[in-house]
Amino acid sequence: MYKVLLVDDEAIARMGIRSTFEWEVNGFELVGEASNGQRAMKWVESKEIDILITDIAMPVMDGLELARRTREICPWVKVLLLSCHSDFEYVREGIRLGAFDYILKPMLSAESLKTVLYEMRHSLQKEKEDHRILEQYKEKNSADPAVAVMPLPLPADCPPPDKSLHQRIVQQAVEYISEHFTESISLQQVADKVCVSRNYFSEMFKRVTGHNFIDYLITLRVNRAKELLQNPTLKVYEVAEMSGFNDTKHFSKQFKKVVGLTPAEFQGMPRR
């Protein structure tokens, strides 16, 4: 059983979450409830929880501070943040604190809760297996200092967020890029839009999409150019401008790199 702590200052909200999901049938145990972060600390300090579900806006100690303290004491604990507010600043702070996911209370349902809890369980199982393998390897090689494994410590103030939150941020970025790729947008501009640093966003985007930002942007623009070049009346420089390139030479170079033909050659091809 994976042990879950539920924290919300509204008793009716706790009751709703408690009754929404069949905990024990699905391999989870609700070990405690609290009305604020301070009261929740006794469970955290006992180090006997695996999952923390907490509201953000609470008196005495809010959910973000509780998440921070939980990470310090129990770094393995998966944190699910709940809020009535869609302010992305909360998500940004949740990322910094290493939260697993973030759900708006109006969107919370048995299905959404089940999905996140199953993802948390899978992550905990994988970490446990990874730890077991690492311990076996360390034990096997402990006699030889030259091959002993020394795990690198994580920065205390910036634990890595889990995959689901990464995907949510990148999805927001992709939606923004899709709406603005024909404009003069930059990596910094998109990073600012999703409220994370430029370098952090660049790494996150590559990890989730498999492409770096520039290549992704160029591919979108070239695909738009291919559509526009179907019109024989448009000039190459016009297509370049309409697809987001501000330099015709650069456009022609990138187009040939992706398509294998120059824009003029592509436009001159016979159409069915």
Task: Give backbone dihedrals phi and psi of 268, rounded to 5 degrees, phi first.
Answer: -85, -5
Q: 172: closest CA among 190, 146, 148? A: 190
Give pLDDT tens digits for 94-105. Answer: 777 888 888 888
The Cα 221–Cα 213 span in angstroms is: 12
Query: Residue 110 maps to which CATH number?
Result: 3.40.50.2300
Assign 192 a pLDDT band (cuts: 50, 70, 90).
Answer: confident
The reported pLDDT for the residue numbered 153 is: 40
- The answer to pTM > 0.85 is no
Query: Residue 204 maps to which CATH number?
Result: 1.10.10
Looking at the 3D structure of the chain, how many domains does it have? Answer: 3
Sign of the torsion formed by the C-alpha atoms of 89, 93, 95 and 100 = negative
Give me the helix-helix angle, 163-180 and 88-96, nearest 10°.
Answer: 140
The Cα 200–Cα 222 span in angstroms is: 26
Q: Does the pLDDT of residue 193 top 90, yes or no?
A: no
Strands ordered across the beta sheet of 2-7: 28-34, 2-7, 51-55, 78-83, 101-104
Whether 239 is in a domain gets the answer yes
Query: Residue 252 maps to which CATH number?
Result: 1.10.10.60
| Co-location of 100 and 186 in the same domain | no
The Cα 35–Cα 83 span in angstroms is: 14
Query: Average of pLDDT values for 79-104?
Result: 78
Give pLDDT tens digits for 208-233. Answer: 888 999 999 999 999 999 999 999 99
Q: Does the pLDDT of residue 162 top 70, yes or no?
A: no
